Amino acid sequence: MHAGCTAYDLDRVMGDGPAITQLIRAVPDQPYPFVEFRTIYDGYTRVVDDEEDF
């Protein structure tokens, strides 16, 4: 990766459109500052079952 984003950064925001957008907009000298990312997972929330062990 280059320009301030690492593979870890991209893994951390995978599947989260607003987080991807925020990460990319934070990169210095971004040539496309108004790009907005969306994923099919945006708007979903994870339901945690207290019975399950994670």
pLDDT (tens digit, 0 to 9) for every residue of the chain, 54 residues total? 456 788 999 999 999 999 999 998 988 888 888 999 999 988 887 666 666 554
Q: Which residue has the tokens 């971004």?
A: 30
In a domain, 31, yes or no: yes
| In a domain? residue 29 | yes
pLDDT at 30: 84
- Comparing CA positions, the residue from 46, 39, 45 lying closest to residue 16 is 39
**What is the C-alpha separation between 34 and 52, in angstroms, rounded?**
41
Number of domains in the chain: 1
Q: Which long-range contacts (CB under 8 A, 24 or more apart) does 7-14 make?
A: none
Domain-located, residue 53: no
Residue 53 has a pLDDT of 52
User: In the chain, what is the straight-line distance between the N-terminal and C-terminal CA atoms, in Å?
Assistant: 31
Residues of the domain holding 7: 1-48
Residue 54, domain member (yes or no): no
Query: Could you tell me if residue 1 is inside a domain?
Result: yes
d(CA 48, CA 22): 26
Structural domain contains residue 3: yes
Give the global pTM: 0.69
